[in-house]
Homo-oligomer: A and B are copies of this chain.
Amino acid sequence: MIKVSVMYPNTAGARFDHAYYRDTHMPLVKARMGDHCKSYTVDRGLAGGAPGSAPTYVAMCHIYCDSTESFQAGFGPHMQEILADIPNYTDLAPVIQISQIVVG
């Protein structure tokens, strides 16, 4: 099992619509990926590790898939539509990472 983490850097002056992300964008991703997306989680950054510090990421999602190949099979055919929805909630470019789930 792998997870694809999509992390939006907390940048001064940037725009991020958490409600749209939760209610519209991520359900779109799940709908298009179908069973290739086993589940997903959404986080909203609250704080950094040091007292009073800001979070590194304003929001993150983690998409759980059986394998990198399964993610690509589910996401690839709908990539254009999904990426075209990003400006509807943010002007940030996310950091993307694929991880093996060691403890799930």
Interface residues of A, Cβ cutoff 8 Å to B: 2-3, 5, 7, 18, 22, 26, 40-50, 55-57, 59-61, 68, 94-104
Contact = CB atoms under 8 A, between A and B. Distances in A.
12 contacts: A2-B46, A5-B43, A22-B102, A40-B103, A43-B100, A45-B98, A46-B68, A48-B98, A56-B97, A57-B99, A60-B99, A61-B103
Number of this chain's copies in the complex: 2
B43 A99 contact: yes
Tell me the interface secondary structure of chain A in the complex: strand
Given A41-B104, A101-B41, A68 B95 contact: no
Nearest to A27: B103
A95 B42 CA distance: 19
